Amino acid sequence: MGHGWEGVVLKMMRGKDFEFTVTGAEDVTDHFRRVHFTDGGMLALTGVHPTMWVRIWFDNGGKPHQRAYTLADANPAVGTFSLEFALHEGCASDWARTARPGDTIEATLQGTGFTAPDPLPPRLFAICDPASLPAINSLLDALPQVPATIWFETTHDSDKDLPLRLDPAHHDIRLIPRRDAGAHLVDEVKAALPGLLDDAAGAYVWIACDTTTTRALTTYLRKELGLAKDRVNALGYWRAT
């Protein structure tokens, strides 16, 4: 499958193409599926870092369609990893539902990166949802010594059962049902966060929700709470329709 004009642009930006092979799959919940892969030599070439992601190419009615997914449990020594899919309507979810061992899919690695906050914050504040579950888990793994408060937006009842890698001694999880297209999550964060910030200059906030919610929270943190740009890591993981 060709990658169209997007593929040409990614090539110009030094994107590297790989082919992944499915080794298995499992339904984590009724709305969340994990697919296991061999990496086609990618990790030996690139290594791995927290929140590392790749662009996966899907067929969408004969046209190439790419979406970014975060690697879960990447193992460079053996060249394996998993991808996790929050299932909904669309060609990516359709592919994940039917993925079987031996299936292959094309991917492009371009744009991923991670810089740990320096200095480390006294507490990590994370605002996320099932689409960013692999990323927040990898972040918690990378900063085990940092306590964290996590707002986790849920859409389905089964989202409460998703495997967040929490340490009860260090992590405070707040499950927030999705309402009003994400506005309820924004309100909950605004109500709670100011009282938790002992030092705005040393705070670190990581946001990975839908694009509109992420933008609203980023604006609030920067303009109203005065957090510096390098103390807010924000990325819209999906667009609400």
Report the number of distinct structural domains present in the chain.
2
Q: Facing residues of 84 across strands?
A: 34
Is 84 within a domain? yes
Task: Extract the tokens encoding 169.
Answer: 């001694």
From CA 86, how far away is CA 156, in angstroms rounded? 11
Q: Is 199 exposed, middle or buried (0-12, 13-18, 19+ CB in 10 A)?
A: exposed
- pLDDT digit string, tens, across residues 35-70: 999 999 999 999 999 999 999 999 999 999 999 999
Q: Which residue has the higher pLDDT, 31 or 110?
A: 31
From CA 6, how far away is CA 17, in angstroms rounded? 13
129 and 192 housed in the same domain: yes
38 and 14 housed in the same domain: yes
Is 53 within a domain? yes
94 and 156 housed in the same domain: no
Query: Cα–Cα–Cα angle for 69, 74, 80, nearest 5°?
Result: 100
Is 228 within a domain? yes
133 and 191 housed in the same domain: yes
* Range of lowest pLDDT (37-46, 70-79, 140-149, 230-239): 230-239
109, 140, 162 - which closes a domain: 109
Q: Indicate the DSSP class of residue 111.
A: S
The boundaries of the domain holding residue 185 are: 124-234
Q: Facing residues of 152 across strands?
A: 128, 175
Query: Cα–Cα–Cα angle for 90, 93, 97, nearest 5°?
Result: 135
Q: What is the overall mean pLDDT for the chain?
A: 92
202 and 169 housed in the same domain: yes
Instruction: Report the candidate in 60, 194, 74 with the shortest Cα–Cα distance to residue 84.
Output: 74
CATH code: domain of residue 35: 2.40.30.10
Is 184 within a domain? yes
